[in-house]
Amino acid sequence: MSVLLHISDTHFGTEQLPVVAALEALARERLPDVLVFSGDITQRAQPAEFAAARRLCDRLGIRRMLALPGNHDIPLLDLFARATRPYHRYLAQFGPRLESTLVTDDFFVVGVNTTRAARHKNGEVSADQVRRVARELQAARPRQLRIVVTHQPAAVVRAEDEHDRLRGADEALQAWSRAGADLVLGGHIHLPYVLDLATASPPTPRPMWCVQAGTAVSSRVRHGTCNSVNVIHWRAPVAGEARRCVVERCDYRPEAGWFETAETRTLGLG
């Protein structure tokens, strides 16, 4: 069994130290093979915030990591930096690339930078990005869990979140599903959920799931939720077995001082 830890929206600068310590304890307990960090690493894109986030990633001790910037990781108040070098501070700690692909024996993970310096909050995926991801996914092997990572959500469960949904998501989901993607991971709205995209509108042509993470360690919890992360469990099927993965949401419990399992979903895959 291989394990992937999905965290998002840490918003360093607003982190809660007991929650940070609990996340480190969870990583020591579960020993993930891969860390996926789906953006909004910092609150105000300050160098000290990025450095603190990088130290946390190092302390987690997870050998392989794929990270993406979120809209908060582009300077907001420094207009010159936003216009000329919007990702410089992010790349100093999480570079050298904005978009990368992580490949292990069991995981094939493709990152998509959905932030835009010209946008304050909303994200988008371009036609070139859609084609690139689809092309890369076609190189994945049958034994690998095939994952695309964005910052803004590719699908939402509440009508009031539609304005935060990724621009261009419908076309992207159709293309990525045809190319073999199993999961699309994201964050941004601090609301954890799992959504069956094959029953969405429009439905994807094969089974695919949107898996959203809440805020991992920030005080900026919303919607009556708490700090949470996702632990994804995957075992490559043997001959004749159906492809399935398990998504475990772990919520931080202040009274206990640790993350514990809040929900477990077994997802059928194509």
Average pLDDT over residues 70-99: 90
pLDDT at 58 over 80: yes
For the stretch 209-219, pLDDT in tens is: 999 999 999 99
Q: How far apart are CA 252 and CA 267, in angstroms?
A: 23
DSSP state of 243: P
Question: Any idea what the CATH number is for the domain that residue 254 is in?
Answer: 3.60.21.10
Output the furthest CA–CA distance in the chain (Å, rounded): 57
In the structure, what pLDDT confidence band is assigned to residue 265 with cuts at 50, 70 and 90?
very high
pLDDT at 120 over 80: no
3-class SS of residue 188? coil
- Strand blocks (E) in 17-153: 34-37, 64-67, 101-103, 107-111, 145-149
How many angstroms separate the Cα of 74 from the Cα of each of 78, 126, 133, 147, 170?
9, 19, 23, 25, 25
For residue 96, cis peptide bond before it (omega within 30 degrees of 0): yes
For the stretch 150-175, pLDDT in tens is: 999 999 999 999 999 999 999 999 99
Average pLDDT over residues 87-108: 97
pLDDT score of 25: 98
Domain extent, residue 257, equals 2-268
pLDDT score of 57: 98
Q: What is the DSSP string of 116-142?
A: -TT-SS--B--HHHHHHHHHHHTT--T
Count of domains forming the chain = 1
For the stretch 240-263, pLDDT in tens is: 889 999 999 999 999 999 999 999
pTM of the model: 0.96
pLDDT at 78 over 80: no
pLDDT score of 10: 98
pLDDT at 181 over 90: yes
pLDDT score of 246: 98
In the structure, what pLDDT confidence band is assigned to residue 77 with cuts at 50, 70 and 90?
confident
pLDDT at 109 over 80: yes
Q: How far apart are CA 22 and CA 251, in angstroms?
A: 10
Q: How far apart are CA 145 and CA 107, in angstroms?
A: 5
In the structure, what pLDDT confidence band is assigned to residue 266 with cuts at 50, 70 and 90?
very high
pLDDT at 223 over 90: no
pLDDT score of 239: 80
